[in-house]
Amino acid sequence: MAVSAPVQEALIIQISLAVALHLWFKKHEPKSISAVFVILIGLSAPSALLLLFPHFDSLVKAVGTSFVTLVVTLLSSILVYRLSPFHPLSCYPGPWQCKATKLWGAYIAWQGKPHVYYKSLHDVYGPIVRIGPNEISVAEVDMLPNILGTSGMPKGPMWEGRSSVPSKKRKLNDHLTSTRDLRRHAQLRRPWNAAFKPAAVANYTEFLIARSEQFVTKLKEVLQTPNAAQRVDIALWINYLAFDVVGDLAFGGVYSFLVDGDRDGILRTIRRGIFPPSVSQHVPWLQEIMRKLPFLGKDSRKFGQFGLEQGKKRAALSDTLKRKDLFHYLIEDDPNAMANPIPVITSNALLAIVAGSDTSTSVLCNIVYYLLQNPEYLVRLRSEIDDAYPSPVLNEAIDVNSLGALPLLNGVVNEALRLQPPIASSLQRAPALGSGGKLLAPGLFIPEGTAVQVSPYIFHRDPRYFSPRPDEFWPDRWISKDPSLMLNRAAFIPFSVGPANCPGKPLAMMELRYITCLLVRTFDMSFADGYDHAHWEEGLFDHFVMLKGELPLKLQVRVG
């Protein structure tokens, strides 16, 4: 069917508008899908009303034609540009799907194995890979200072889509994990640094010891139940322990999962609640859609409500709590917070829960898994612990502060952190707004608007930094004096590095060492009968933190 001249003119106008809109979006990328839809309708309506409507039998058909023409041309223009040699990142290799759209990254995140996928890309394309239209992944240790370090960059756009509690009222600059302003981040980070200085960590030791001893006691009680010793999900019990340690550390001990269990399904809710933002971080405007989907937004809201409730309970204890916990330090240096602690506590509650429990849980479970998969190290580690603490009373308190001197224990912990870092990927940074760009290395300048991702999982398994056997559990690499071994500690970043690294690292390392010692010293452990331990790594999913499945063990209290 021939197209009349007025209709052709209208369509040409829409095509021109689409190209112009693409040029505008390059500098003013929208964060809201609703805003994009309004813009598209606004640009489609005039052409439809003035030029198309007289030639169509309905206004709906005229607007639809105008709208479809605009959208198809806009998407085509964007796609052609992103895949063209004119794009500023065209010199970096990568699969065309990544270059075309971050929706591909969202799809990879949905599957839960982005750390494995991005490592496979580096194996094919080399140390610098284009993983998005405006994003590269870097696996060069010499560039880490200019990415994550003190001379590095602020957080990238990924953090705008990471809210665990989607809310239009949420202000990114009020939250430590999401602010992209370096000065604001330093302000929010200062009390966290104070909360984990050596004197503060010493105050937390009593929480850790008390809960860990309760953990061992509860496991012994469970083993008294007929047939229970044949199949104990140690991952669940470690999760209870880690959650209670955070409860004592941050909320004044207002709950106890070791005593009560997970009666309200909070652990499952957290697991599900973390999932949507791990996808929407790749395409922030997806968060707006996910917020309105009840089957996705429900658990995020429930998780957020749980955090807020614990925060309010802790705030109610501010005048009566005698011990110095995490929020004591976050509040005491802020006159405004002293007068009204609820905003500070509630804004940091979810961070404390996720960063303090899920991370240590995944690492401790991986330590158990790798020790049982490599029983020779379990035997050697028990011998090292027995030699250091020869008391015949197995449950005698271990000197927590001396554990850092046990070489094999630290090798085991480091090796588990290396193979399965709790934050496996998505440490994203980007040049500061208005900076023009960032020089990462001589000859490597990235323009403003480009995001740079660093994945600990990729660094930790790179044979240039850890060899031989980079993909194997080999704690001796941390002990051996063999100069032919490659052990680049600058590439070991399980807690990130720089101003945005994990402030709780000292306590986390103490927790990992101490609980590992208690388990090895107190119990004989093996995989439960019929359990295929290959399923463990298959069940590890990268959603911000590394989430895990069941780890069934056969447990017996050690004799002699």
Answer yes or no: is 502 a known binding residue: yes
Instruction: Please report where in the chains the tokens 């709906």 appear, as a residue.
Output: 60
Question: CB neighbours (10 Å) of residue 75?
Answer: 13
| Long-range pairs for 204-207: beta carbons < 8 A, 24 or more residues apart | 204/249, 204/325, 204/507, 205/400, 205/401, 205/510, 207/245, 207/248, 207/249, 207/253, 207/325
Give me the amino acid identity at 366.
Answer: N
Q: Are 77 and 70 in contact (CB under 8 A)?
A: no
Q: Are 23 and 81 in contact (CB under 8 A)?
A: no
Question: Dihedral of CA 421/423/425/431: which sign?
Answer: negative
Contacting residues for 446 by C-beta, under 8 A, at least 6 apart: 136, 431, 437, 438, 440, 452
Q: Are 431 and 438 in contact (CB under 8 A)?
A: yes
Question: CB neighbours (10 Å) of residue 389?
Answer: 18
Q: Look at phi and psi of residue 396 and say left if phi exceeds 0, alpha if psi is from -120 to 50, else beta.
A: beta
Token digits of residue 284: 């922030």
> What is the rounded CA–CA span in Å between residue 17 and residue 291?
31
> What is the rounded CA–CA span in Å between residue 42 and residue 39?
5
Phi–psi pair at 135, nearest 5 degrees: -145, 140
> What is the rounded CA–CA span in Å between residue 535 and residue 549?
9
The 8-class DSSP code of residue 422 comes to: S
Q: Are 446 and 90 in contact (CB under 8 A)?
A: no
Contacting residues for 74 by C-beta, under 8 A, at least 6 apart: 18, 19, 21, 22, 40
Question: Residue 50, SS3?
Answer: helix
> What is the rounded CA–CA span in Å between residue 377 and residue 516?
13
> What is the rounded CA–CA span in Å between residue 186 and residue 179?
10
Nearest to 19 by CA among 84, 79, 85, 73: 73
Determine what percent of the chain falls in helix, strand and coil, rounding each to the nearest 5: 60, 10, 30
Give me the amino acid identity at 504.
Answer: G
Instruction: Report the DSSP pairing between strands 444-447 and 437-441.
Output: antiparallel
> What is the rounded CA–CA span in Å between residue 84 and residue 81?
5
Q: Are 514 and 401 in contact (CB under 8 A)?
A: no
Q: Are 70 and 17 in contact (CB under 8 A)?
A: yes
> Which positions make up the binding site for heme?
502
